[in-house]
Amino acid sequence: MTRKTFLWATVAFMLIPLYVLTVNAFKGQQDILSNPFGLGGLTLEPLGRALTNPNFNVFKGYAITLLFVVAVNVLSVGLAAPAAYVIARSPKRRFRALMLFFLAGTFIPGQVLVIPVVYVLKTLGLMGTIRGFVLFETTLTLPFSIFLYAGYIATVPAVLDQAAAVDGAGRLRTFWQIVFPLMRPAVATMVILNTFSVWNDFVNPQIILGPGSGLYTVTTGVYAAVSQYSTDYTVVFPTLLLAIAPLLVFFVFMQRHIISGLTAGATKG
């Protein structure tokens, strides 16, 4: 009984704010203030105004954020997966120490790195550029990606590598053609988690890209759209709903891959 009560309390804690956001995105100001939980007075007008808000082009925000998501995921997989393969397959202690080094990176909040990163990006001439932002976001994904990939690769029988070597395949070819296809659950998990991270990030694009760059992600665009209308809920709620809607749809269809990817290393082999 206690377990069910806790479960339902957790579900309510998570879903009630989402319900309030969704319902009030289709209401006028007076209806929101008088009855925020009710279903009366629903209209599409606030959502239509949010779609045409001159302070935030939501479709441009989607496109820019999606560009960052794809670029970060491609770079993250391309860098983390081979590094994890070398660490997982090597018996040398220095590679184990390297694994601990990467693992330590998971405990460092990204916001702590912003100031030194800004200095480095300015020195390299990458401040306020897409390249600088993508490189920083990719760096943030590497520690946990390498940790997860290495744990999964360790469950893949090394005899596959030996068989490929007998057939004349080098280590690079062995990894990409033999091992990497078997990593699909782990790769899918990291792609999903990285997508959430990049899509929801506000501090890093706000500082690294900055308003002067003219590049607004979904989160910085929402800030630009609602900051001057913080008491006008007919602007706030629809804009917030438009910002999270694609991510909610993505999560509904992909959440099973998160669970399978995180548990695969423990059950495979």
Residue 113 pLDDT greater than 70, yes or no: yes
Closest CA to 150 of 193, 179, 110: 179
Does 39 share its domain with 80?
A: no
pLDDT of amino acid 10 = 85
pLDDT of amino acid 261 = 58
Does 114 share its domain with 168?
A: yes
Does 96 share its domain with 198?
A: yes
Burial category of 5 from C-beta neighbours within 10 Å (exposed 0-12, middle 13-18, buried 19 and up): exposed
Residue 269 pLDDT greater than 50, yes or no: no
Does 254 share its domain with 188?
A: yes
Closest CA to 141 of 64, 217, 93, 83: 83
Give the least confident one: 54-63, 83-92, 260-269. 260-269
User: CB–CB of 139/80 below 8 Å?
Assistant: no
Domain of residue 137 covers 55-265
Q: Rounded to an integer, what distance in angstroms lies between the CA atom of residue 65 and that of residue 135?
A: 14
Does 153 share its domain with 20?
A: no
What are the percentages of helix, strand and coil residues in the chain, rounded to 5?
A: 80, 0, 20
Summary mean pLDDT of the chain = 84
Give the least confident one: 3-12, 61-70, 80-89. 3-12
pLDDT in tens, 180-232: 998 888 898 899 999 999 999 988 898 888 777 778 888 888 887 776 656 77
Does 145 share its domain with 216?
A: yes
Does 143 share its domain with 226?
A: yes
Does 61 share its domain with 9?
A: no
How many other C-beta atoms can be found within 10 angstroms of the C-beta atom of residue 212?
7
pLDDT in tens, 129-168: 889 999 999 998 998 999 889 988 988 888 888 888 888 8
Does 60 share its domain with 30?
A: no
Does 34 share its domain with 81?
A: no
Does 22 share its domain with 71?
A: no
pLDDT of amino acid 78 = 95
pLDDT of amino acid 258 = 66
Does 88 share its domain with 196?
A: yes
pLDDT of amino acid 259 = 61
Q: Residue 116 to residues 89, 113, 123, 140: CA-CA distances in angstroms?
A: 34, 6, 11, 14
pLDDT of amino acid 209 = 86
* Number of domains, the chain: 2
